[in-house]
Amino acid sequence: MKKILLANSFYFPTVIGGAEIFTQLLAEGLTEEYDVHVLTTANHSETVVKERINNVTVHRLPLSNIYWPGNDIKDRSSFSKMKWHVNNLYSRKQYTYIKEILKDVSPDIIHSQNLMGIGTYLWSIANKLNIPVVHTTHDYQLMEPVNQRLLNVIFSLINKRRSKTVSIALGVSKFTINKHLQQNYFKTAEVDAIPNIVNSESFDRRYRKSKQPLIIGYIGQLEKIKGVNLLFDLLKEFDSTIIEKLIVCGAGSMEKEIIEQGKKDNRLVYKSHLASRAVQETMAQLDVVLVPSIWEEPFGRVLIESYNQGTPIIASRVGGIPDIVYSEEWLFKKNDLKELKFLVDKFYNLEDGQIKQEINKSYEQSKLYEDNIPQHINIYDKLIEKV
């Protein structure tokens, strides 16, 4: 059986974001075809910790930096964060640990994900050991790891040079991989886009009749870059005969503002810190989910989770979102209240048959994201054959 080593900043039970979910689903999904190993970070010292989780061998690197990013780092000073990222560029101690793991495992292929805490010099080590590398870009960390322009230029140049040893570069959306290519990353690599897997249970959903008031939802981080302010403006544009409720699920720096807005307009219902199952159940009771992001989302997991409940989406035309939304007609220019208002009004005026069509389209779209294991196996096998 061939061996594969997946590398990601964190691994179960540490789950920070979508990359961790993706890596675990991929690792466990590959076990029938590959002897699967995972390289990740941990908050311990002294030595590499090795364990088996669901037929996956996990290698947890000891802490070689000034802190572990798996802990809450919001209170870290800007200086300590910058120092951490400088150290992350290269650590002789960690280089040795990684090289020893690769020699010991001797994988036929490496598939790296987010490398914060591991370092992009993993690619250089793999190249010296003649191990081909596939890399998936989940975000923009390689280009913009810190909030400091000059340092980002330096970090980006180093990561860009190292990326020349990557054999195949994948993106979770076409937008994400193209953004890296435009910045001259992965110059010698083959490129493709494979979206994340999204597995979530489907619940009985609400079926609204034409001209009944809408129950609209927003699911996600409560931050300005997510376009949350646009939700407040939207409520002011419609009375309760059109928008019955705006249900907000999530957490973030705008939490207090959400609560205050709810006091001004009781149609805004805030549900904070819901468990994943409760969020999915809430989605199934919404007529439409709004994704008004201003930031260029690499991949919109919440869109697929909504579609999995049969809940249509109205979203801003940014980042990887257009790759997911099943029809251009439900996209609007970011931060454009007029366009958003038009689409909400259009959705409200759908006839019963059209409403059912949008629900059915949502279910169908979600099926595209149920399994990406065969696509990955095909890429791995072809690359191994070349080597």
Q: Hunting for tokens 């009781």 — which residue is that?
A: 266
User: What average pLDDT does range 94-122 have in this prediction?
Assistant: 95
Task: Tell me whether strands 49-53 and 56-61 are parallel, antiparallel or unpaired.
Answer: antiparallel
What is residue 72's predicted lDDT score, i.e. its pLDDT? 63
**In angstroms, what is the C-alpha Rg of the chain?**
22
What is residue 89's predicted lDDT score, i.e. its pLDDT? 83
Please, what is the angle between helix 352-366 and helix 301-308, to 10°?
Answer: 120
Is the pLDDT confidence value at 76 over 80? no
Looking at per-residue pLDDT, the higher value among 219 and 81 belongs to 219
User: What average pLDDT does range 235-239 have in this prediction?
Assistant: 95
User: Domains of the chain (ranges plus CATH)?
Assistant: 3-196+371-386 (3.40.50.2000), 214-369 (3.40.50.2000)
Query: pLDDT tens digit string along 6-30?
Result: 999 999 998 887 788 889 999 999 9
Task: Write the DSSP symbol of residue 67.
Answer: S
Residue 268 to residues 152, 236, 260: CA-CA distances in angstroms? 39, 11, 10
- The whole-angstrom separation of Cα 259 and Cα 132 is 51
Helices (H), ranges, the chain: 18-29, 78-89, 92-105, 121-128, 149-162, 174-182, 228-237, 255-264, 276-284, 301-308, 321-324, 337-348, 352-366, 373-386
Is the pLDDT confidence value at 120 over 80? yes
Query: pLDDT tens digit string along 245-296?
Result: 999 999 889 999 999 999 999 999 999 878 889 999 999 999 999 999 999 9
What is residue 210's predicted lDDT score, i.e. its pLDDT? 94
Query: pLDDT tens digit string along 191-210?
Result: 999 998 887 889 999 999 99
Is the pLDDT confidence value at 373 over 80? yes
CA contacts within 13 A on the Cβ side of 32: 5
- The whole-angstrom separation of Cα 162 and Cα 125 is 10
- The whole-angstrom separation of Cα 266 and Cα 254 is 17
Q: For the full predicted model, state whether its pTM sits above 0.85.
A: yes
Looking at per-residue pLDDT, the higher value among 82 and 357 belongs to 357
Q: What percent of the chain has pLDDT over 70?
A: 99
Between 69-83, 233-247, 255-269, the lowest mean confidence (pLDDT) is in 69-83
Is the pLDDT confidence value at 166 over 80? yes
Is the pLDDT confidence value at 387 over 80? no
What is residue 74's predicted lDDT score, i.e. its pLDDT? 64
Mean pLDDT (the chain, rounded): 93
What is residue 94's predicted lDDT score, i.e. its pLDDT? 92
Q: Give the closest residue to 288 by CA, choosing from 216, 339, 225, 218.
A: 216
What is residue 73's predicted lDDT score, i.e. its pLDDT? 62
What is residue 84's predicted lDDT score, i.e. its pLDDT? 82
